[in-house]
A and B are shown apart, each in its own frame.
Chain A
Amino acid sequence: MHIPDNYLSPQTCAVMAAAMVPVWTVSIKKVKAEIPKVKLPMLGVGAAFSFLGMMFNIPIPGGTTGHAVGGTLIASLMGPYAACIAVTVALLIQALIFGDGGILSFGANCFNMAFVLPFVGYAATQLIMKRVKGKNADLIGSAIGSYVGINAAALCAAIEFGIQPMLFRDAAGNALYCPYGLNVSIPAMMLGHLTLFGIAEVVYTTAVLAFVRKAAPEMKSSTEAVRTALPLKLLMAALVILTPLGLLAEGTAWGEWSTDEIAATGAGFTPSGMLSGFSYSSLIPDYSLTGMPEWLGYILSAVIGAAILIIIFKLLSVAGNSKKENLTV
Chain B
Amino acid sequence: MNMNLQLMRLIRRITGNDSEYQTADQSRILPALRLSVAFLAILLCALSQNAIYVIMIIAAELLWLSMKSPIFIRKTLKPVLIAVLFCFVLMLPAVSMGHPRTLLTVSMKVFESVLILSQLENSVSWQNMTDAFRTLHCPQLFVFTLDMTMRFLVILGRYSNSILEAVSLRRVGPDHWKTAGTGGILGTTFLRSQKMSLETSEAMACRCFDGEYRSYRRRRFSRPDALYALLIPLLIALFVYTQQAM
- List chain A positions with a Cβ less than 8 A from chain B: 4-7, 9-10, 13, 24, 28, 31-32, 40-41, 43-45, 47-48, 51-52, 55, 59, 61-63, 85-86, 88-90, 92-93, 95-99, 102-104, 165, 170, 172-180, 211, 215-216, 219, 258, 261-262, 265, 268-269, 271, 274-275, 278-279, 284, 289, 291-292, 296, 300, 303-304, 306-308, 310-311, 314-315, 317-318, 323, 326-329
Contacts and interface: CB of A to CB of B under 8 A. Distances in A.
Given A93-B150, A310-B66, A4 B14 contact: no
A95 B141 contact: no
A170 B246 contact: no
Given A28-B142, A278-B104, A307-B59, A6 B46 contact: yes
Given A96-B129, A104-B42, 9 more contacts: A4-B114, A6-B46, A43-B148, A45-B194, A99-B118, A99-B121, A104-B46, A289-B52, A314-B66
A229 B65 CA distance: 50
B201 A318 contact: no
Contacts, number: 241
Contacts of B59: 300, 303-304, 307
A89 B121 CA distance: 16
B237 interface: no
Contacts of A279: 100-101, 103-104
A279 B190 CA distance: 49
Majority SS of interface residues in chain A?
Answer: helix
A57 to B, nearest CB: 11
B146 A93 contact: yes
B110 A269 contact: no
Chain B contact patch, size range: 35 or more
A304 B62 contact: yes
Interface in B188-224: 190-191, 194, 197-198, 201
A90 B145 CA distance: 10
Contacts of B145: 40, 43-44, 47, 85-86, 89
Contacts of B43: 10, 104
A248 B66 CA distance: 43
Contact of A103 (B79, B98, B113, B164): B113
B194 A216 contact: yes
A103 B70 contact: no
Nearest to A106: B39
Contacts of B165: 327
A5 B109 contact: yes
Q: Point out which of B100, B126, B146 has the most chain A C-beta atoms below 10 A from its C-beta.
A: B146
The 3 nearest A-B residue pairs measured at CB: A44-B148, A307-B62, A310-B66
16 contacts: A4-B113, A24-B139, A44-B197, A85-B142, A92-B146, A93-B153, A102-B117, A103-B38, A103-B113, A103-B117, A174-B98, A262-B49, A279-B100, A311-B77, A314-B70, A326-B12
A44 B12 CA distance: 18
Contacts of B71: 318, 323
B86 interface: yes
A300 B14 CA distance: 36
Contacts of A7: 106, 110
Contact of A48 (B121, B153, B245): B153
Nearest to B242: A292
Contacts of A55: 10, 14
B203 to A, nearest CB: 11
B187 A215 contact: yes
B170 to A, nearest CB: 10
B84 to A, nearest CB: 10
Contacts of B28: none
Nearest to A95: B117
Contacts of A45: 148-149, 152, 194, 197
Nearest to A292: B52
A75 to B, nearest CB: 15
Contacts of A317: 70
Contacts of B67: 310
Contact of A296 (B52, B66, B161): B52
Interface string B35-73: 000110011011101111001101110110111011101
Interface in B90-135: 90-91, 94, 97-106, 109-110, 113-114, 117-118, 120-121, 126, 129
B149 A306 contact: no
A310 to B, nearest CB: 4
A300 B55 contact: yes
Contact of A5 (B42, B152, B168): B42
A103 B99 contact: no
B159 interface: no
Nearest to B164: A329
Contacts of B161: 326
Contacts of A275: 100-101, 104
Contacts of A310: 66-67
B11 interface: yes
